Each structure stands twice: as C-alpha cells, then as structure tokens.
Structure 1
C-alpha cells in the first residue's frame, strides 16, 4: 500500500502544474546560490558615455538571484542593462551570442545587443536594446513565429553540419550549462542536459530513477524512434517571464541558447502560458510527432531538476516523478 501511495504522489507531482510554481530569481532554500547581484554598477553607463552616448537618466528595475537590472535613457534611445558579480565570460557572453543567434534565425522579435564587458570589480554587464513591451500577446502568431525560428537554417557552421551545442557554454538561470558540440542529440541530452542535472542534484533516489529509465528505454533511444532530430536554434529557457508583446510582435529575451531538438524548447511549458491558440499556430507549421508527449516529460525534467538545484524543495520529487516509468 505504501508503494502505491508513493507512486500516486509522484504521479501527481509530475502532472500537476498547480504545485509547480515558476521561480526564477527567488531564493527559496539553502540550496539557492549566493546572490550574484551587483546593485547597478556604473560600468555600463561609463562605456556608453565613452562611446558617444549622453546618459539622461538611470532607473533601477529590480533583479534576480544572479543579476540586477536597470534602464538607461540616452540621446540615442533607451537601453536595458543587466549587471552581475560574475565576469562576462561566465555570465553574459553566452547570453549576448545567444541573442545574436536568435536574431539571425528570424521569426521572433529579439532585442539587439549593444555591448557586454567586465567592470573593474570582478563583475560584468550587458547592454541591449530596450523594447517597448506591453499588451496581450497574439499567441497564435507567436506559435507560428517560434516554429519558423525552429525551422530556420542554423547560422552557426558547426550546427549547420548537424552538430548539437553552441559556440560557448552559458547559464540556465544561475546554473552553468555545458554546450560542447556533439554529433548525437541523444548523447548531448543525456550527458550535457538531463544527466548533468541529475548528477548535480546528488540524490541517490533521483540517480536510481534516471539509471532505471536509461535501462528501460535503451539509453532513451526507444523514445526517439519516430523522429530524425536536426539542430534547431532554441531560446532554451522559454517561460512566461521571458516573452512579451511588442509593436513588432512577441519578443523573447533572457535566453539559454543552444542548437538542439526543437521539442526541448517546451521543457518550461508548465509555466509558459502556451494556450490552445499558441499550439494551433505552432502545429500549423511543425506537426506533433507521435512520441512527443513522452519526450516532453524528459524535457520538463531537465528544468524541474534545475529548479531543485537552484531552489531546493519539492522540485526533487517532481523530477523523480517525471522520470519514473
């Protein structure tokens, strides 16, 4: 009876969005990282002034556990700035290159990166175009636009040759994300995505569940018999806080970009607000594959376990539930 009760509990955790709130910048447990915020370093404003911008005003915009935000009004337009206690190589280089890659793919509106760099205190900053955001997103058009982005020919020559990964490592929230180029999507996802999060969690039960899943699915191969996976440019962390309506259409930002299976984009769909209109628009261009629902659990598990590694709490058992047969 206890085994049945636990199985039911894990099933509820794996399927209920009600008990899986979206936390992005909130530190909710002792597992959360020390704050990486730097309260509004002047380095970004100094760089802009040195490069011909006249700063008219600065305004703080809050922050997350790993970055602080502000807007700068200049004589050449308004800009959005993120600052961190981490150096640019570890924090903002990946974001800048990711935004550039997303813009190159087209389909969805993406802010233009102006500059990123280090300050003189060991931290860093990134300056980007400030978008005019607001209003209710047209979700059907967003679905179509995202599908077109996923189908775009990779701009990176390595991805164009069929490799999965990205030109630099980056972060998923505050967690380092490895992007070493790999010829096999299954190898990439097992080792650099879901397997890496499982190892980081350090849970014997989670590791045992993951090992059992690999054994029962022939190292996940049995879950991919209906598709030929090709590299698509991915936002990588697409939830409702990372897209907004603009006059040019829905914009996406704060990415964890890499080239991967387009279905992996929906690993955060449990808190992305993708409604029927969105899916109708997306499926008009990319139809649903037969085993999508099974793979979606894997892609959600990556983000759920990352949430555990960032915030602790019940995310561990949600991850176990998603990986359980």
Structure 2
C-alpha cells in the first residue's frame, strides 16, 4: 500500500512525497510532513491495532508517545516527533513515574513481541503469569532450536520471582524504541502489559544497554532492590528466546549466559 493511501483513509493529507524512515525488521515507515505512516506487507492479524492500544495505554499513564491518528490492520498513522537532545535524566523520571504506578493485578491483552503473538490474560501470582504469558509460548516456538536448554529455562521459573507490585510496562524497551524530542524523551512501539518493572529494566540491560547517566538517575528516583537486580537475567531469558525465534541459534550463547547468571 502507498503510505499516502493510508493517510487518506485516516482523513488526513500531506504535500510532498513520503520520506522513508528507519522501521526496524518489521515495518516500512514513512514521514509525510506532520505524520508517520507505518506499513507492513504481511502483518500478523492485530499487530498494528495492538501497537495503537499500547501507545494509548502508555499515554494514559503519563508517558510521552506519538499520538495515534489512525490504526488499521494494514498500518498506523502516528504523529511525527522531531528529534531533540538526549535527556537521560528525563527518561529516568518518566520511567520511574511509570513503574511506580500500581494496578490491581497482572494483566495483558493479546498482543505481540515484535511479530510474535502473545496471549492475553490476568492473574495475581506473578511468576505463573509471566511464565504462561511470556515464556511458555516462546519456549514452544523455539524448543527444537534450543539444543537442550529448554528444561533449563523451565527450571528457572519453578522458584518465585520477586514482586514489588503490578506496574504498567513498555514491554520491549530497547534503544530503538526510544526517541528524544525537543519536549523530552518519548517511547515508541510498545509491547504493553502490566507486570513487574524488572521486565523493562532487563531489556534495557541487554545488548549494550542504556548509559550510566540513565541508571544513576533511575536508582536515585526508584532504587532497585537487590532481589530484583538478581532476577534481571531471568527476565532477559524472555527477550533472548524471542531473538532465537526471530534470528536463530546465534543467540544461544547469550541465552546460556542469562540462564547461568540466574
């Protein structure tokens, strides 16, 4: 689909040709003046509506995100956010404010990590909820590629994970889903659900992670208990299973390292 067609379907218009932007491994992304159009040739059903719901959920909880103008199975029309200076302390304030919020129980709508479908559900017991919603589907999808690590992953979740309380999460917080704007940091492309904040922080420690300026400020605003710090490798298993699923056995070494550190 031509991105201008989706813009027209949204009742919007822009002059000039679409300008391609970096869209990662999933989407083709274009800027059309004040708008961003995200498209994918064969998206899994529900992918873009789930992203729109996640963006709105974060906005309702005080996080700066691009405004959603239109969501359809074929794509999204979002607000274009101009680039601004890096503000790691601002990001720490925004995330600490998000993670300090409390909800009545753990819950998720059916959604996606990348293009991998995850079930909806709710629960009051965190370890069971996290395993059934996040770990088990990816284990089933990758079991034959794990070279015997599957039982080791299962064993990680027989012991309870530490809990601080159900908090809203971005759910896929790597540096590619962060944008600094003139008004401050903004988050993109969430895999939103309500869980324990260690899930977000674990992703932020993978693959080079975020700079010490962020971590120093976050620790002052919302210190991380030692037991949550120790649990971060168990949460990283979630994201590493996804990388095995999408990109192959090259991530088994990182998965083994996370298992060993747990």
Q: Deviations over 1:45-80 (max 9, x none)?
A: 2213xx2x332122222533321111112xxxx101
Identify if the C-alpha distance between structure 1 residues 272 and 184 changes in structure 2 by more than 3 Å, giving closer, same or farther.
farther
Q: Distance in 1 between matches of 2:76 and 2:199?
A: 26
**Structure 1 stretches of 5 or more lacking a match?**
1-37, 119-123, 154-159
Q: Which has the higher contact order (CA 8 A, sep 6+)?
A: 1
Give the match for residue 139 of structure 1.
Answer: 88
Q: Deviations over 1:91-119 (max 9, x none)?
A: 1111101000101111x32111111114x
Aligned length, in residue pairs: 257
Larger radius of gyration: 1
Shift of residue 241, structure 1, vs aligned partner: 0.9
**Structure 2 stretches of 5 or more lacking a match?**
none
Matches within 5 A, 1:284-303: 284-303=220-239
Give the match for residue 112 of structure 1.
Answer: 67
Is 1:62–1:68's contact at 8 Å kept on the other side of the alignment? yes
Q: Deviations over 1:1-32 (max 9, x none)?
A: xxxxxxxxxxxxxxxxxxxxxxxxxxxxxxxx
1:101 corresponds to which of 54, 57, 64: 57
- Say if 2:7 is the partner of 1:45: yes
Q: What is the TM-score normalised by the length of structure 1?
A: 0.73
Matches within 5 A, 1:232-243: 232-243=167-178
Q: Deviations over 1:236-273 (max 9, x none)?
A: 11111111211111111011111110111022222364
Is 2:179–2:187's contact at 8 Å kept on the other side of the alignment? yes
Matches within 5 A, 1:120-139: 124-135=74-85, 137-139=86-88
- Say if 2:97 is the partner of 1:148: yes
Q: Distance in 1 between matches of 2:142 and 2:249?
A: 12
**Superposition CA RMSD, Å:** 2.1
Is 1:84–1:91's contact at 8 Å kept on the other side of the alignment? no
Q: What is the TM-score normalised by the length of structure 2?
A: 0.89
